[in-house]
Protein backbone atom coordinates (compact mmCIF):
# COMPACT_ATOMS: atom_id res chain seq x y z
CA UNK A 1 0.00 0.00 0.00
CA UNK A 2 1.10 3.51 -0.62
CA UNK A 3 1.60 5.88 2.26
CA UNK A 4 -0.64 8.89 2.69
CA UNK A 5 -0.20 12.16 4.57
CA UNK A 6 -2.29 12.60 7.71
CA UNK A 7 -2.92 15.09 10.46
CA UNK A 8 -4.27 13.71 13.70
CA UNK A 9 -5.48 16.15 16.35
CA UNK A 10 -6.14 15.17 19.93
CA UNK A 11 -7.47 17.14 22.88
CA UNK A 12 -6.15 16.08 26.27
CA UNK A 13 -7.60 17.27 29.58
CA UNK A 14 -6.25 20.82 30.04
CA UNK A 15 -5.90 20.36 33.80
CA UNK A 16 -3.07 17.84 33.37
CA UNK A 17 0.45 18.87 34.29
CA UNK A 18 3.00 19.30 31.51
CA UNK A 19 4.71 16.00 32.43
CA UNK A 20 1.45 14.06 32.00
CA UNK A 21 0.85 15.73 28.63
CA UNK A 22 4.39 14.82 27.51
CA UNK A 23 3.67 11.21 28.51
CA UNK A 24 0.59 11.18 26.27
CA UNK A 25 2.58 12.68 23.38
CA UNK A 26 5.39 10.16 23.82
CA UNK A 27 2.88 7.29 23.97
CA UNK A 28 1.36 8.13 20.58
CA UNK A 29 4.72 9.05 19.08
CA UNK A 30 5.91 5.54 19.99
CA UNK A 31 2.70 3.98 18.62
CA UNK A 32 3.14 5.73 15.28
CA UNK A 33 6.81 4.76 15.03
CA UNK A 34 5.95 1.15 15.94
CA UNK A 35 3.52 1.09 13.00
CA UNK A 36 6.20 2.45 10.63
CA UNK A 37 4.71 5.93 10.33
CA UNK A 38 7.06 8.74 9.40
CA UNK A 39 6.35 11.63 11.76
CA UNK A 40 6.77 15.01 10.08
CA UNK A 41 5.72 17.27 12.96
CA UNK A 42 4.31 17.16 16.46
CA UNK A 43 2.68 20.52 17.11
CA UNK A 44 1.88 21.28 20.73
CA UNK A 45 -0.80 23.88 20.11
CA UNK A 46 -1.39 24.42 23.81
CA UNK A 47 -4.16 24.99 26.32
CA UNK A 48 -7.40 26.45 25.04
CA UNK A 49 -10.86 26.98 26.45
CA UNK A 50 -13.29 24.56 24.86
CA UNK A 51 -16.28 25.94 22.96
CA UNK A 52 -18.52 23.79 25.14
CA UNK A 53 -17.98 21.45 28.07
CA UNK A 54 -16.91 17.94 27.09
CA UNK A 55 -17.30 15.33 29.84
CA UNK A 56 -17.40 18.17 32.35
CA UNK A 57 -14.08 19.63 31.12
CA UNK A 58 -13.90 23.34 30.31
CA UNK A 59 -10.41 23.49 28.79
CA UNK A 60 -8.11 21.19 26.85
CA UNK A 61 -4.57 20.85 25.59
CA UNK A 62 -4.48 20.53 21.80
CA UNK A 63 -1.85 18.42 20.03
CA UNK A 64 -1.38 17.78 16.30
CA UNK A 65 0.56 14.86 14.84
CA UNK A 66 1.48 15.24 11.18
CA UNK A 67 2.76 12.04 9.61
CA UNK A 68 2.81 9.74 6.60
CA UNK A 69 1.65 6.16 7.02
CA UNK A 70 -0.31 3.31 5.53
CA UNK A 71 -4.08 3.79 5.78
CA UNK A 72 -4.32 0.80 8.13
CA UNK A 73 -2.45 2.75 10.83
CA UNK A 74 -5.34 5.20 11.25
CA UNK A 75 -7.69 2.48 12.48
CA UNK A 76 -5.13 1.35 15.07
CA UNK A 77 -4.42 4.92 16.14
CA UNK A 78 -8.07 5.89 16.51
CA UNK A 79 -8.80 2.71 18.46
CA UNK A 80 -6.02 3.65 20.88
CA UNK A 81 -7.49 7.17 21.14
CA UNK A 82 -10.93 5.75 21.88
CA UNK A 83 -9.60 3.51 24.65
CA UNK A 84 -7.50 6.27 26.27
CA UNK A 85 -9.44 8.05 29.05
CA UNK A 86 -7.01 11.00 28.91
CA UNK A 87 -8.17 12.01 25.42
CA UNK A 88 -11.31 14.12 25.34
CA UNK A 89 -11.66 14.31 21.52
CA UNK A 90 -9.70 13.31 18.42
CA UNK A 91 -9.82 13.91 14.69
CA UNK A 92 -7.69 12.41 11.93
CA UNK A 93 -7.72 13.79 8.39
CA UNK A 94 -6.00 12.88 5.13
CA UNK A 95 -4.04 15.62 3.41
CA UNK A 96 -4.09 15.50 -0.37
CA UNK A 97 -1.41 16.97 -2.63
CA UNK A 98 -3.26 20.26 -3.17
CA UNK A 99 -3.77 20.77 0.58
CA UNK A 100 -0.09 20.09 1.27
CA UNK A 101 0.90 22.68 -1.35
CA UNK A 102 -1.49 25.26 0.13
CA UNK A 103 -0.19 24.55 3.62
CA UNK A 104 3.43 24.97 2.50
CA UNK A 105 2.53 28.27 0.79
CA UNK A 106 0.70 29.49 3.90
CA UNK A 107 3.63 28.62 6.17
CA UNK A 108 6.04 30.39 3.82
CA UNK A 109 3.91 33.56 3.84
CA UNK A 110 3.56 33.35 7.62
CA UNK A 111 7.34 33.08 8.03
CA UNK A 112 7.84 36.15 5.82
CA UNK A 113 5.21 38.08 7.79
CA UNK A 114 6.81 37.13 11.11
CA UNK A 115 10.24 38.18 9.82
CA UNK A 116 8.82 41.57 8.77
CA UNK A 117 7.19 42.02 12.18
CA UNK A 118 10.45 41.14 13.91
CA UNK A 119 12.35 43.65 11.74
CA UNK A 120 9.78 46.37 12.52
CA UNK A 121 10.02 45.64 16.25
CA UNK A 122 13.82 45.81 16.05
CA UNK A 123 13.70 49.21 14.29
CA UNK A 124 11.19 50.51 16.83
CA UNK A 125 13.37 49.37 19.73
CA UNK A 126 16.41 51.06 18.16
CA UNK A 127 14.47 54.28 17.67
CA UNK A 128 13.27 54.23 21.29
CA UNK A 129 16.81 53.56 22.52
CA UNK A 130 18.15 56.46 20.42
CA UNK A 131 15.42 58.78 21.74
CA UNK A 132 16.18 57.79 25.32
CA UNK A 133 19.91 58.41 24.80
CA UNK A 134 19.42 62.02 23.62
CA UNK A 135 19.89 64.54 26.41
CA UNK A 136 16.74 66.33 27.40
CA UNK A 137 17.13 70.11 27.23
CA UNK A 138 15.88 71.67 30.42
CA UNK A 139 14.48 75.12 30.38
CA UNK A 140 16.10 77.43 32.87
CA UNK A 141 14.02 80.16 34.38
CA UNK A 142 15.80 83.16 35.77
Sign of CA dihedral 118, 122, 124, 125: positive
User: If residue 14 lies in a helix (H) or strand (E), which one and from where to where?
Assistant: none
Tell me the whole-structure pTM to 2 decimals. Answer: 0.74
Are 44 and 36 within 8 A, CB to CB?
A: no
Instruction: Name the fold adopted by 4-95.
Output: Alpha-Beta Plaits (3.30.70)
Mean pLDDT value of segment 121-125? 89
List beta partners, residue 94: 6
Q: How far apart are CA 9 and CA 43, in angstroms?
A: 9
Give 6's pLDDT tier (boundaries 50, 70, 90).
Answer: very high
pLDDT tens per residue across span 24-56:
999 999 999 999 999 999 999 999 999 998 888
Amino acid sequence: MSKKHYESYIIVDGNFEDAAIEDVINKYDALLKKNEAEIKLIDKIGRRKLAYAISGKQNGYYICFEFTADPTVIAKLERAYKLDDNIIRYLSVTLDKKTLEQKAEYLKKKALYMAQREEEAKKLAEAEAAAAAEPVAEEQTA
